[in-house]
Each structure stands twice: as C-alpha cells, then as structure tokens.
Amino acid sequence: MTGTDRRRWDERYADRGAAPVEAIAPPGAFAAHADVFPSTGRALDLACGQGLGSVWLARRGLDVWGVDVSATAIDQARDLVRRSGIADSCRFDVADLDQGLPDGPPVDVILCHKFRDGRLDGAIIDRLAPGGLLAIAALSEVGASPGPFRAVAGELTAAFAGLDVIAADEGDGLAWLLARG
C-alpha cells in the first residue's frame, strides 16, 4: 500500500476516535450467525480496523491476532482490548496485506470483514485448520454501482468454492460468506 493510502486510513481512524467498549459486537454482516463461531481456538482478523470484531471473538473465548495496515487503527484496537479487560487474549500488529498474510500457525477462525484482496484467497484457505471457519464480507457490485474495491456477482462463492459453505449472500452493496475448511 502506498504511504498516501496508509495516511488516509490513519486520518480516517483519528477522526473517528477509539471505539467504546459498548460497541463490541459481532461484525455487522455476521450478526445473525454469531452462533456459528467457535468459542475456543485461534483466530486471525484480517484488516481488523479498530479491533471490534477481534475483541468480540476474544470475548467468546478465542485467542485472536488482529492485523491492519493503519497504525492508528492498531493503537485504537490495543486500547480497546485494554479497556475491555481481556488483553491477554488479543494481539494486534500493523501489517500490510499487500505483502500477503503474516506468517503463523493454522487458525480455527479467519475473520475478514469489509476488506477484499483476491490475491489472498489461496493463502486464506491454506491457513484454515481442518474444520476452521472463514467469515468474509466485502463491498459488492450487487445492488450498488461497480467500483474498484467491490466484489463482482458470485465472486466470494467462486473464490471459496472448495470450502463447505454454511451461508452466503450478496445484495445492497455487500457480499458475505461463511464456510468451513
């Protein structure tokens, strides 16, 4: 990612300010499917932003690693987990996913909410432990105007066709998929 894009994300998060503990909740796309997420094991939250999804997973009982390119978002995520009282279950690091997934062991959950880079699809599948859960949501062209960061119709289900799909949908500008490795 270019320095300009990174600074843009930093500015966006600085304007927004740290998230309140009361906002910790399942990521919007998966709110109706929260029960599908396990309550033990290891999770990786890709492009975790302010860490709300990561901390929600940690509260469920998972050991979570959240990564994002924005140092401001990562500072806010670290602050959020400190305030939520479960700091031992979450780690946050700055990482540019343009360089691929950060190295690590297989995980039981990969959460990737409102971030899409098709170059990562293979690595995401490989990183799932047997039976591990992928929860991915992306801006979509379905029900919205085409755009460079929007998934085309059927993109997620095609990309993750090798997994066992639990549920998937697209419309109103959002595509999401829940599947097991």
Ligand X SMILES: C[S@@+](CC[C@H](N)C(=O)[O-])C[C@H]1O[C@@H](n2cnc3c(N)ncnc32)[C@H](O)[C@@H]1O
Question: In the complex, which residues of this chain contact ligand X (CB under 6 A)?
Answer: 1, 9, 27, 47-49, 53, 68-70, 73, 96-98, 113-115
Least distance CB 112 / ligand X (angstroms):
7
Least distance CB 118 / ligand X (angstroms):
13
Which residue is nearest to ligand X, using beta carbons? 49
Whether 110 contacts 44, CB under 8 Å = yes
Q: Which is nearer to ligand X, 24 or 159 (CB)?
A: 24
Please state, in angstroms and rounded to a whole number, the distance separating the CA atoms of residues 41 and 167.
22
The H-or-E segment that residue 165 falls in is: strand 164-171
Q: Which is nearer to ligand X, 49 or 132 (CB)?
A: 49
Q: Which is nearer to ligand X, 48 or 133 (CB)?
A: 48
Q: Which is nearer to ligand X, 122 or 131 (CB)?
A: 122
Least distance CB 135 / ligand X (angstroms):
11
Q: Which is nearer to ligand X, 1 or 167 (CB)?
A: 1
Please state, in angstroms and rounded to a whole number, the distance separating the CA atoms of residues 153 and 155.
6
Q: Which is nearer to ligand X, 4 or 130 (CB)?
A: 4
Least distance CB 46 / ligand X (angstroms):
7
Residues 6+ apart with CB under 8 A from 110: 43, 44, 46, 124, 127, 128, 132, 133, 134, 135, 136
Q: Packing angle between helix 71-84 and helix 52-60, nearest 10 degrees? A: 30
Please state, in angstroms and rounded to a whole number, the distance separating the CA atoms of residues 181 and 166.
11
Whether 71 contacts 94, CB under 8 Å = yes
Least distance CB 49 / ligand X (angstroms):
3
Whether 143 contacts 173, CB under 8 Å = yes
Least distance CB 130 / ligand X (angstroms):
25
